[in-house]
């Protein structure tokens, strides 16, 4: 199985940039997607295909990368962005998720 490694937490100030990384144990090409999960809610798709913004998602969110190294960015961070962010690959079965990065306020 492809293992996706994310940092467990990131502390940012409102109005600043947040950058979350996801490293895959082998190449997933551009088959990387990012989800936001707020406390007690279901996940929500933000980015698909490494860099494509999902419908209705603000342009403050962006994604980049290919192969094994991916980055998810929020710029600027707003209070409503406090959540856990997951990367997910669909290059190989089984589809796997990273363990999530919890975005916290400084």
Partner 1 sequence: EVQLVESGGGLVQPGRSMKLSCAASGFTFNNYDMAWVCQAPKKGLEWVATISYDGSSTYYRDSVKGRFTISRDNAKSTLYLQMDSLRSEDTATYYCARLRLLQWYYFDYWGQGVMVTVSS
Of the pair 15, 40, the CB lying nearest partner 1 is at: 40
Contact set for partner 1, span 72-101 (CB under 8 A): 86, 88, 90, 93-100
Minimum distance between the CB of residue 29 and partner 1, rounded to whole angstroms? 9
Provide the residue count of the chain: 106
Instruction: Give the integer Cα–Cα distance in Å for 26 and 39.
Output: 30
Q: What is the DSSP string of 36-50?
A: EE-TTS--EEEEETT
Residue 27 C-beta: closest distance to partner 1, Å: 14
CB-CB contact of 68 with 23 (8 Å): yes
**Site pattern 7..36 for partner 1 (x: CB under 8 A):** -----------------------xx-x-x-
CA-nearest of 59, 62, 60, 36 to 51 is: 62
The residue among 3 and 14 lying less far from partner 1, judged by its C-beta, is 3
Residues 34-73 that bind partner 1 (CB under 8 A): 35, 37, 41-45, 48-49, 54
Query: Among 96, 106, 90, 32, which residue's Cα sits nearest to residue 21?
Result: 32
**Residues found near partner 1 in the complex (CB under 8 A):** 30-31, 33, 35, 37, 41-45, 48-49, 54, 86, 88, 90, 93-100
């Amino acid at each position: 199985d492809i293992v996706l490694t994310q940092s467990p937490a990131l502390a940012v100030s409102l109005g600043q940039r947040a950058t979350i990384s996801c490293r895959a144990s082998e190449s997933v090409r551009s088959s990387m997607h990012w989800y936001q999960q707020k406390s007690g809610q279901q996940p929500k798709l933000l980015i698909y295909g490494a860099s494509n913004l999902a419908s209705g998602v603000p342009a403050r969110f962006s994604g980049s990368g290919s192969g094994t190294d991916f980055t998810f960015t929020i710029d600027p961070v707003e209070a409503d962005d406090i959540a856990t962010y997951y990367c997910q690959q669909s290059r190989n079965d089984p589809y796997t998720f990273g363990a999530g990065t919890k975005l916290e306020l400084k």
